[in-house]
Amino acid sequence: MIATHKIETVNFGTKGQVVIPRRLRREFEIEEGTRAAVVATPEGILLKPLTVSFIRRGRGIIKRKHGDRSLAEEMAAHKKHEKELENRHAG
């Protein structure tokens, strides 16, 4: 999958729905019924498709040994680390 930087525009419907251009749906393997995580970022709204390939890459993440941090704690630590990286690159 190659992320392109070509800017395309979409229209919002009355319920906030948008149609992702076909080229991007193909590139990111988005099919009918694909769910996406919606994240508010400083730059705007980020949609992260939860596709089959995304799920395959994440296999094994949920398996935890007794005494390890919970998934929520792991996610919080990951978000903190991402924020630190963003701040480091922003300034």
Give the pLDDT confidence score for residue 28 in this predicted structure: 86
- Extract the runs of DSSP E, i.e. beta strands, from the chain: 35-41, 44-50
Give the pLDDT confidence score for residue 6 in this predicted structure: 80
Which residues contact residue 3 at a Cβ distance below 8 angstroms, ignoring those fewer than 6 apart?
27
Q: Which of 75, 81, 39, 45 is nearest to 58 (CA)?
A: 75
Q: Which of 44, 19, 42 is nearest to 32 (CA)?
A: 19
Q: How far apart (Å, rounded) are the C-alpha atoms in residues 57 and 91?
A: 32
Give the pLDDT confidence score for residue 20 in this predicted structure: 93
Q: Count CA within 13 A, CB hemisphere, residue 11.
A: 2
Give the type of residue at 27: E
Give the pLDDT confidence score for residue 41 in this predicted structure: 92
Give the pLDDT confidence score for residue 49 in this predicted structure: 87
Average pLDDT per 10 consecutive residues for the chain, totaling 91 residues: 74 92 90 90 90 64 59 79 81 61
